[in-house]
Amino acid sequence: MGRTWKCILFCVVTVILLSGCLFAILRQKQQRQQQPNIIVIMVDDLGWNDVSFHGANQIPTPNIDALAYNGVILQRHYVLPICTPSRTAFLTGRYPIRTGMQGYPLKAGERRAIPLGNTLLPEYLRKLGYATHLVGKWHTGYYSDYHTPAYRGFDTFMGYYTGYISYFNHTIEQDSHVGYDLHYDVPGNTSVMYNYEYMTDLITERAQDIISNHDRSKPLYLQLSHLAAHASDAEAVMEVRDEKETNATLGYIDDFNRRKLAGVVTAMDESVGKVVQALKEANMLENSIIVFMSDNGAPTVGLLENYGSNYPLRGLKFTLFEGGIRGTACIYSPLIKNPSRISNELIHITDWLPTFYSAAGGNLDDLEENFDGVDQWATIISGKETTRKNLLLNIDELLSGALMGKYKLINGATLENGDYYGDSGMNKLYPEYNVTNVLYSFAGSAISNISQVTLNTNYVIELRKAATVVCQNFASYPTCLEKCLFDIYNDPCETTDVSHQHPNIVKELNELINEYNKVTMHPVGGTVDPLSYPDHFNGTWMPWVKLSKNKIQFLSA
């Protein structure tokens, strides 16, 4: 009798275990089928007023606008004031002060990179079964092979390691050394790619190829990091694809340099449309998330000026004023439950790692590191109030700042770059905003083919009006050399310092900054290693430091 019961018990346990395994397999399969494709389009040095969905008629961006109007316009999306820190924050989900990547952007040949002990976004997504690809700019360090994209979570990388290159020749000059910087890398192999096509088109074609050849049994993570709208390293600061065409279509812009910036942005907007169209043709758009964002504000004047416009926001790239860190951003996905709206919730670039991980079906408790980013997926798809109540704007050798609710504190601003710059784009002689061009753009047409809701002209005009920032009192504003506190809700253009009215808020925000200061890793580097010069690598910028496996294990610990 006892033996019989043991047999019965054994059979019952076996059935339960097999059922559990089968359930786990089915659940994993179902999760994989539901995992969305994630496409990030990160553009470079694009100003707040360089897209037309923010209210200006000067530069039409119908494809970007179609994403914005069919998705969610992220009106309070904060980034870092410079490219390397922003990209570091995006890839790590942590403030760059934790990795020593704050401050000035990386130079070509600088021996500094995101420390190998940090797991990056594509590595996390790869663990969830994603195919991962990066096209375009890297700019978070490449001094050894192990610091390049194909060793840090990307299945393929086609692009450039440094901060910017010429749009046609794909070269960059550093310390009077000119080198080629275009690569095609896969894990275990870094290689040079010789192609002199216009960089925006090259990025677009590579993205289209990835999408059309993607194995749909796996979800896709595709990051397009455009050179546009960064200044070029060529003699012509802004390189357009076709100058004759630019003059014919954008000739109403009198400022020649601004017109060329518009030509660069127009080509990038076309790229956005073609990528959305490619997703639709591959039957992937229905289950995709597309995020469009700028890494920081435009440098209208000064170093690497691109003649962009942050109007009416104050300041430029490199500053903690809104023009430097309030990034243009929107998100489109059929998964959004109440689309075609504006979100004024506080979102930071560090939030995308946990947000994408959550959207991909991952359990945030499984993540290995403590993040500064928060999961914003519920906020985005259903409009729930964000859990983020404050954020660190930056800490470096010169500036610090933090934001809490509607109040923003800046410490140590300089007299440079704190003015109001750029074209308003409101000239009545400019062509009127054309909603039809938006609705029938590549992106607009692709989205309408899978959407159950049809946008109408009146609603688009209402959304656009609501996304337009209107400010007063530009004539007088504080310098903020010591400190400034701004009420960003009521004074988004930072014209009035209210620190004397709210000393307790100033104190609270400074205490927040001081807490982060305790964990700040100070940058190491800043100088260019002569061993990195392209003269040593057949005229190409390449990784130049050889690290042993033991050294890698030490750096990863």
Catalytic residue numbers read 83, 139
Helices (H) and strands (E) in the chain, counts: 15, 17
Give the angle 373-376-380 at the CA atoms, nearest 5°: 150
Nearest CA to 304 out of 247, 238, 363, 348 is that of 238
> CA 261: distance to chain centroid?
20
C-alpha to C-alpha distance for 340 and 337, rounded to whole angstroms: 10
Query: Do residues 59 and 310 touch, judged by C-beta distance below 8 A?
Result: no
Judge contact between 44 and 230, C-beta under 8 A. yes
Residue length, the chain? 557
- Full 3-state SS string of 179-195: EECCEEEECCECCECCC
3-state SS, one letter per residue, for 27-60? HHHHHHHHCCEEEEEEECCCCHHHCHHHCCCCCC
d(CA 84, CA 232): 17
Query: What DSSP string runs through 342-374?
Result: EE-S-EEGGGHHHHHHHHTT--GGG-SS--S--
- A 10 A CB-CB count for 35 gives 21
- CB-CB contact of 164 with 174 (8 Å): no
CA distances from 103 to 313, 328, 524 (A): 22, 21, 11
Q: How many CA atoms lie within 13 A of 544 on its CB side?
A: 21
Q: Which residues, in sequence order, are bridge partners of residue 486?
A: 408
The residue type found at 254 is D
Strand positions, DSSP E, 259-411: 288-294, 329-332, 341-343, 347-348, 390-395, 400-404, 407-411
User: Cis (ω within 30 of 0) for the bond into 466?
Assistant: no
C-alpha distances (whole Å) from 24 to each of 30, 33, 85, 363, 545 are 10, 14, 40, 15, 45
> By CB neighbour count within 10 A (0-12 exposed, 13-18 middle, 19+ buried), where does 510 fall?
middle
Sheet containing 329-332: order of strands? 183-185, 156-160, 131-137, 220-225, 37-43, 288-294, 329-332, 72-74, 341-343
Query: How many CA atoms lie within 13 Å of 555's alpha carbon, on the beta-carbon side?
Result: 17
CB 509 within 8 A of CB 409: yes
Q: How far apart are CA 140 and CA 41, in angstroms?
A: 17
CB distance 237 to 306 below 8 Å: yes
